[in-house]
Amino acid sequence: MNKTIIPGRHALITSMKGGPGKSTTACILATDGRLLGHEVAVYAADAAASTSYLALQAQGLPEEDQDPLRTAVRYDIRDPEEALTFMRAMGTGAPSILHDLPGGAHGTLAGLFPEGYGTGFGELPGVAAAYGYRLTVLHMITADTAHNASVETLITEFGDAVDYVAALNRGLITRGHSIDFWQRGPARSKLLAMGGLEVELPRISGHLFPYGLRGLIDESVIADRFHRHLRHLFIEACREELEPIFPLVFKQ
């Protein structure tokens, strides 16, 4: 009797440009997943910013000793040699992998495939499958259309070979702006037609800004009891919203 093999999960948290909340989403997913008992490896692929790495790193531990399954590691995906870390991460066999990609990293990943080798970037799901993973593309959506420009491109490249999540970051939708272009546009229709899911991230209270991303994932950073309570409410709201996508992010 053949035993069904459940693939690992490799989630790419992405957008066309920086600043839409990728690192916040990566850290919240990683922290929640680990609390639920999932083995989640985290890779921050933007060595210049590394927001998720700086938030998740073990304080006082040398960078070379950071464990992606316990904290996070960082590398520069724009460097041709370091970009191979993306593939090597799947070679570790970690059940679940979260990749916090810098804006516009798709071109760099495409460059891993020599010209004339299959469909180039479109080969990525097949490579992941060879390592035993199913890809999930988690694309951040904001009021800035530049953040969202790559949704249709990714759907065209990958088709139904990956799973899709659109994460609407309400915290970056300011007065006078909206996401009507997304809600009424073709990219959303295509994503949903592919069986993709849509989630909405709550706004972060201004009271929590001084603590940075570290404060959102580590309560001990926040001394003020009111601010701790606000953090608790934010994390609970995130968990409630993100829970439906857990099966697409964590190996079940």
Which domains, and CATH codes, for the chain? 8-249 (3.40.50.300)
| Residue 93 predicted with pLDDT over 50 | yes
Q: What confidence tier does 6 reach under pLDDT thresholds 50, 70, 90?
A: low
| Residue 182 predicted with pLDDT over 80 | yes
Those residues with Cβ within 8 angstroms of residue 151's Cβ, 6 or more apart along the chain or in another chain: 139, 141, 166, 187, 188, 190, 191
The lowest-confidence range among 80-84, 106-110, 203-207, 214-218 is 106-110
| Residue 144 predicted with pLDDT over 90 | no
More confident residue, 16 or 223: 223
More confident residue, 96 or 47: 96
- Say what percent of the chain tops pLDDT 70: 94
Output the pLDDT for position 1.
43
How far apart (Å, rounded) are the C-alpha atoms in residues 139 and 19?
Answer: 12
Output the pLDDT for position 107.
83
| Residue 64 predicted with pLDDT over 50 | yes
Output the pLDDT for position 183.
84
Average pLDDT, stretch 192-202? 94
| Residue 170 predicted with pLDDT over 90 | no
Q: Average pLDDT, whole number, for the chain?
A: 89
